[in-house]
Amino acid sequence: MIKITFLPDKKNIKVNKGTTILEALEKVGMNINTPCGGKGICGKCKVLVKEGIAAVAPTEEELLLEEEIKKGFRLACQTKLFKDTVIEIPSEIRLDFKRVFSSNLKGDIDRIKNNFSLGTNLKKVFLDLKKPSLDDQRSDWERIKDELSSKKIENISNLKTSLEILKKIPVLIREANFKITVILYNNEIINVEKGDTTKSSYGIAFDVGTTTVAGYLVDLNSGEELSAVAKANPQIIYGDDVISRIGFAQKQKENLEILQRKIVNILNEIIKENTQKAGVDTNNIHKISIAGNTCMHHLLLGLNPSNIAPSPYIPVIKESLSLKVKDIPGLSLSPTAHIYILPNISAFVGADIVAGILAICMWENEKISLFIDLGTNGEIVLGSKRKMWTCSTAAGPAFEGARISSGMRAAEGAIDKVKIDNESITYRVIKDSKVRGICGSGLIDLIAELIKLGLIDKSGKLIGREECDPKLNKEIRKRIINEQKGNKFLLVKGKETENGKSIYITQRDIREVQLAKAAIFAGIKILLKEVNILPKNIQKILLAGAFGNFIDKKSAIRIGLIPYLPLEKIESVGNAAGRGAEITLLSEKTREICKKISKDIKYIELSSRADFQEEFVEAMFFKS
Amino acid sequence: MIKITFLPDKKNIKVNKGTTILEALEKVGMNINTPCGGKGICGKCKVLVKEGIAAVAPTEEELLLEEEIKKGFRLACQTKLFKDTVIEIPSEIRLDFKRVFSSNLKGDIDRIKNNFSLGTNLKKVFLDLKKPSLDDQRSDWERIKDELSSKKIENISNLKTSLEILKKIPVLIREANFKITVILYNNEIINVEKGDTTKSSYGIAFDVGTTTVAGYLVDLNSGEELSAVAKANPQIIYGDDVISRIGFAQKQKENLEILQRKIVNILNEIIKENTQKAGVDTNNIHKISIAGNTCMHHLLLGLNPSNIAPSPYIPVIKESLSLKVKDIPGLSLSPTAHIYILPNISAFVGADIVAGILAICMWENEKISLFIDLGTNGEIVLGSKRKMWTCSTAAGPAFEGARISSGMRAAEGAIDKVKIDNESITYRVIKDSKVRGICGSGLIDLIAELIKLGLIDKSGKLIGREECDPKLNKEIRKRIINEQKGNKFLLVKGKETENGKSIYITQRDIREVQLAKAAIFAGIKILLKEVNILPKNIQKILLAGAFGNFIDKKSAIRIGLIPYLPLEKIESVGNAAGRGAEITLLSEKTREICKKISKDIKYIELSSRADFQEEFVEAMFFKS
């Protein structure tokens, strides 16, 4: 065994010789960005070996600069360790960000109360049971049942329970001196607690994304959200996107279990953090709602995702599921607590979209709106209460910083806003710290600004210094660096960045963004065609998702990511998926709406559309 | 294949031509006495061929009387069968060791078919699914559901399934090239199988007793019983009776699990033996019914039995339960197969009695009958379809050989029948082997004979040699041994026993039997009082249970175990509990009857009856 120390956290772990840095990181519970899934292709998992030498692998020679190798930089996925080593993990590749995407929707609880009535289908009833005697030999179960019946609680004809509860009852009721609280869900007793706990009734809603997992703790009595926690999906070490994770799951039988365990562990962490923050006893969480994309849904439930990835893209199940905690191994909640899994729409339009449609009320809106969830994939919904259409486009992880030379996630040190005019360049850095890179919203701002200045032409070409408008400020012009493989533009000088390296946008970065935005826009175009309307007929654009929430609307229009519409008609709606999941916890009637949404929506398979390629190519251009 | 029917059980089996009767008997699960091991030497395995002719083998000519051969008697080990044959198995050669308690009830399946219709609520449907394509992206689940729907299978609105099945589906349907059989139980898919397996649909019914566990494999399509296996309950090492097992369970936490594992293991062995005998694939067992006494019920389900033993005797639950195999850890059946647990009546009147009442049709009988299940405990039911009363008496394990000086279970070497007249003493030994002891039925015979001869007086005293009737044969008289602490009677001399020690019945043995029979009879008296009838108003006495089946009716009356009634009104009904469990498998409507029986029956708690002691003391006496 050798000892590996990670800086700056000073975390230690002992591993076998030959373990890769990535494996050691995983063992110690630190997550880093590995866009290619640890295959040695992307060169993003750069770490600095401070003490102890690590041999250089051929892939590293290829992907790292000679200078970097000399300094001690290595790729975490490629470097095997054979002696005690101290390694620094640069903050830009770390995945420990915590932006909590709390919802922007206002007055939701009131709306739920008004429209649906707060209906959790959960009742906690305090019972002061009569003690048994030779004249009253009723079983423990009968005693509880009769007492409930005497209290005229509805729905207890055919009262059910599970063996777990029956196993618990005899000792619990005697320890509680026959004073207990029963938790009724529909016609089932899902738990019993000592004494009177009727006031403590909680639920938790999850949005399980490819990149981020968020959990919301709610009070089932008041409908209030008590706490929200978001964490990086730790499956990320097996790949940035769903396709690489499915690939990993298929490699060997245990891998599906590994992925399931990863996601369950992060749910457990989120539960723990939420309950600690809110001062709630985990045992009092009686209901759970989970919305995720179809792949995350399968991985969480341990369902084989193999047929999702290849054409014709077949999930195991799309319909909602009613489960119990015990059905998901390792989940740290009361085993008989109830789980509602929201329904999916297709292999690439998941329950998160259904939850989103529920939350933004598209299903009851007379007017046509366009709902775009921009995450690792881009899911698009167009329509109104009469009918909705949806499709999914592989926006790719460009907007999340992957495959962008100085790209990073929207974490501390990321540039998330950029403004350039002839006078100056200004930008905003998340958490106001030293610059570490640029995230999706910053990138879109930057490209939009360069288009405005004429530095990027219609075709997406970053023009040479000599081709610039002569009126352009000299300082700006100087930032264009002509290179043979394509020009690049200097955004931040090395002296202002954390690691001393300058932040550029390269020609290749622009191409990545072009591909991503073209995919989204072509998807929108196909849906418009289906619905047979023009962009101007769209009454509202609603942007959701990790990235959709922080994007600058004007920039998004300028680069052609979304159709041109007056800015007041474009709205960021926060984490609509999480909020939708919450709503299904608080008002169970909305589950019927989810069912209807997922069943009635028309899914358009873009890969089978001859006109998609055409739209895609056309959408590659910028309108300058 | 030819069909062999055995009387009086009416058991059928199909065998290859040339099979011997003995082999056929073994296959059908009936055991007979074959002292020479089937070598054609002893001539003991005499059976009567009623229909179909069987050639006479040379050994048979030697060992059987000419007259016997003419009547149709043959030796089971020597006679090969070549056509459909009906054979009667005389009770005296039936093996009392592995006494398989097959029911004596006649025409059960026909009765079920007529009265209830064979209704298993199980459907196996073969589906030839359309393969997925870009034009047909339905999920695997939808594909199955739609196909079922197109076949107009009832009850599939709200079709449900479990995660286990969803986990199985994607690989299974592709390996089966989309040709599968789904197993529908009510509105749930409880399994899927490759190809067309509609013809293979089985269930298994269990009677879980304190001493013996029996399992019956049935064909759910035809309603036929395919095989029956009974085994000793291995929990026995933790005590003979339920009280000692509960004591063990309470000692430490793990003990309940140990007891559960023991019982699950024996169920697994019974399943294995049954399926091997019948040539059935265990995976095709889709339904299970279990009847047991209340304590065995709790131990099997892992429910805390602690409050059953002390007053006021409170079980956790009496009502029936619908479970899945996965709810009982370690049970070797398909995890999603359905288990029905029959309802109990009280802490000491269990589901086995409910099953018995169902099987013997007491619940639909206008006339008043008395049903006694004599096992380790004695449960008594008195009544008619209008109303039934029940109680439980601690008969104690005396009838099962415990606490009797030479007592033993009804196993090989046990004396199970005794006849004494002035001329001679005759007895029957199980498996005709060397005598090892005396079992319950032998003990009752012996006491009855001694009462008849005046050797036991009214008070139960075994009189001294000098007090005997002077006319008594000297040989018999010599067997009375006067001792200070009470006399004893020599039944078998040491030279005839396995261990060389003589078999006696002692004064103390007689007292044990007095206590046991008094408990039963006092229970009967209390019930008669409740119902307000005289013994002569009882239309029928039905004896069930391990011991009740083999008892000599005349002896039972003579010692005062049961009321005096003409012998034709007393019937042994075999393992009524097992048969009742079988019926609940084959006709689910009977589950409602079980519910009604368990709810409506009036349980009399003898320990709270002031008059019980009085009756008990009175019943201690013998009527000579």
- Reduced to 3 states, what is the DSSP secondary structure of residue A344? coil
Q: What is the pLDDT of residues B374-400, one digit of tens each?
A: 877 899 999 999 999 999 998 766 787
Residues in B touching A325 (Cβ below 8 Å): none
Write down the pLDDT at residue A494. 92
The whole-number pLDDT of residue B246 equals 94
Set of chain A residues whose Cβ sits within 8 Å of the Cβ of B314 = 132, 137-140, 170
pLDDT value of position B110: 60
pLDDT tens-digit map of A38-86: 778 778 888 999 888 778 888 888 888 888 888 889 999 889 999 999 9
pLDDT of residue A104: 39
The yes-or-no verdict on residue A462 having pLDDT over 80 is yes
Contact A314 B167 (CB under 8 A): no
Alpha-carbon span B576 to B454, nearest angstrom = 36
Indicate the residue of A135, A142, A163 with minimum beta-carbon distance to B323.
A163
Selecting from B139, B316, B607 the residue whose C-beta is nearest the C-beta of A139 gives B316
Q: Do A303 and B167 touch (CB under 8 A)?
A: yes
Query: Rounded to whole angstroms, how far apart are CA atoms B193 and B201?
Result: 12
DSSP letter string over B58-70?
Answer: HHHHHHS-HHHHH
Check whether A283 has a pLDDT greater than 90: yes
Nearest-by-Cβ selection for A166 from B162, B170, B317: B317
**Considering chain B, what is the average pLDDT of its residues?**
89
Confidence of residue B330 (pLDDT cuts 50, 70, 90): very high
Q: What confidence score (pLDDT) does residue B34 get?
A: 63
Cα dihedral sign, A328-A332-A336-A337: negative
Q: What is the average pLDDT value for chain A, to the nearest integer? A: 90
Cβ <8 Å between B319 and A141: yes
Residues of chain A positioned with their CB less than 8 A from the CB of B315 = 139-140
Q: In sequence order, what DSSP letters do the residues of A441-481 get, joined into one string?
A: HHHHHHHHHHHHTTSB-TT--B--GGGS-TTS-HHHHTTEE
pLDDT of B546 higher than 70: no
Q: Give whichever of A210-224, A415-429, B166-180 has the largest mean pLDDT.
A: B166-180
Q: Is pLDDT above 80 for A322?
A: yes
Each residue of A345-355: pLDDT tens digit? 999 999 999 99
Q: Which residues pair with A571 in a beta bridge?
A: A542
Inform me whether the pLDDT recorded for A594 exceeds 60.
yes
The pLDDT of residue A99 is 34
Q: Which helix (H) or strand (E) holds B586?
A: helix B576-586
* Angstrom distance (rounded) from CA B239 to CA B76: 39
With a cut of 70, say whether residue A117 has pLDDT above it. no
**Cβ contact, residue pair A163, B302, below 8 Å:** yes
Q: Structure tokens of B205?
A: 């019914």
The predicted-structure confidence for B150-203, as pLDDT tens digits, reads as follows 988 766 778 999 999 999 999 999 999 999 999 999 999 999 999 999 999 999
With a CB cutoff of 8 Å and minimum separation 6, the contacts of A490 are A479, A480, A481, A502, A503, A504
Out of A139, A303, A314, name the one closest to residue B314 (CB). A139
**For residue B335, pLDDT beyond 90:** yes
| pLDDT value of position B331 | 98
Residues of A with a Cβ under 8 Å from any B Cβ are: 132-142, 162-163, 166-167, 169-171, 174, 301-304, 306-307, 311-319, 321, 323, 327, 346-347, 603, 605, 607-608
pLDDT tens-digit map of B117-146: 678 999 999 999 999 999 999 999 999 999
Report CB contact under 8 Å: A166, B311.
Answer: no
Question: What ipTM describes this predicted complex?
Answer: 0.82
- A-to-B residue pairs, Cβ atoms closer than 8 angstroms: 120
The CA-based angle B489-B490-B493, given to 5 degrees, is 175
| Cβ density class B276-313: b for 16+ within 10 Å, e for less | ebbebebebbbbbbbbbbbbbbbbbbbbbbbbbbeebb
Tell me what percent of the residues of chain B surpass a pLDDT of 90. 63
Confidence band, pLDDT 50/70/90 cuts, at residue B423: confident
Report whether pLDDT(B105) > 50: no
- pLDDT attached to residue A97: 38
Amino acid at A364: E
Torsion angles phi and psi, residue A540, rounded to 5: -160, 140
| Res A113 pLDDT > 90 | no
The tokens for A515 are 């591909």
Choose the closest CB to A134 out of B171, B312, B327. Answer: B312
User: Is the Cβ–Cβ distance between A96 and A413 less than 8 Å?
Assistant: no
pLDDT at B276 over 60: yes
CB A206 within 8 A of CB A290: yes
DSSP conformation class of A414: E
